[in-house]
C-alpha cells in the first residue's frame, strides 16, 4: 500500500553517484537527492506510526473479545449446570414417585 509511494530502494541510495565539479559535488544535485530520501523516510515513518496505532487497537480488540469469550463460557457453564440440575431433579422426582408407589401401593 505504501510501497507504491516510495521512490528509492536501499540499493538506489547505495549506488547513487554524484557528479563532481571542480569544487566537489553539485550542491543542487545532492539537495535534490536528499529531498527524495527525506520524503521516503517520512512515508515510512507515517506508515509505521499508522501500523503501530492499528496494532494497538487490534490488541485492545483481542483483549475485549477474550473477555467476552470468558464471560460467555461462564454463562454457558452456568446454563449447563442449571440444565443438569433440572434433569437430575426430574430424575429424583421420578424415582421418588416410583418408591411411593412401591411403598404405599398404587
Tell me which residue range forms the domain holding 48: 3-104
* pLDDT score, position 86: 59
Rg over CA atoms, the chain: 37
How far apart are alpha carbons 101 and 65 in whole angstroms? 53
Number of domains, the chain: 1
Q: Long-range contacts made by residues 3-8, C-beta under 8 angstroms, separation at least 24?
A: 5/43, 6/40, 6/43, 6/44, 7/36, 7/39, 7/40, 8/36, 8/37, 8/40
DSSP state of 3: G
Q: For residue 3, what pLDDT is reported?
A: 59
Averaged over successive runs of 10 residues, the pLDDT of the chain (106 residues) comes to 66 78 80 86 87 95 92 84 66 78 73
Amino acid at each position: 500500500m505504501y510501497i507504491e509511494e516510495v521512490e528509492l530502494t536501499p540499493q538506489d541510495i547505495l549506488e547513487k553517484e554524484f557528479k563532481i565539479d571542480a569544487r566537489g559535488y553539485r550542491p543542487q544535485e545532492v539537495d535534490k537527492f536528499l529531498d527524495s530520501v527525506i520524503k521516503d523516510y517520512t512515508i515510512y515513518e507515517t506508515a509505521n506510526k499508522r501500523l503501530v496505532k492499528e496494532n494497538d487497537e487490534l490488541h485492545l480488540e483481542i483483549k475485549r473479545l477474550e473477555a467476552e469469550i470468558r464471560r460467555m463460557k461462564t454463562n454457558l457453564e452456568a446454563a449447563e449446570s442449571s440444565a443438569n440440575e433440572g434433569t437430575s431433579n426430574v430424575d429424583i422426582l421420578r424415582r421418588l414417585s416410583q418408591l411411593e408407589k412401591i411403598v404405599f401401593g398404587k
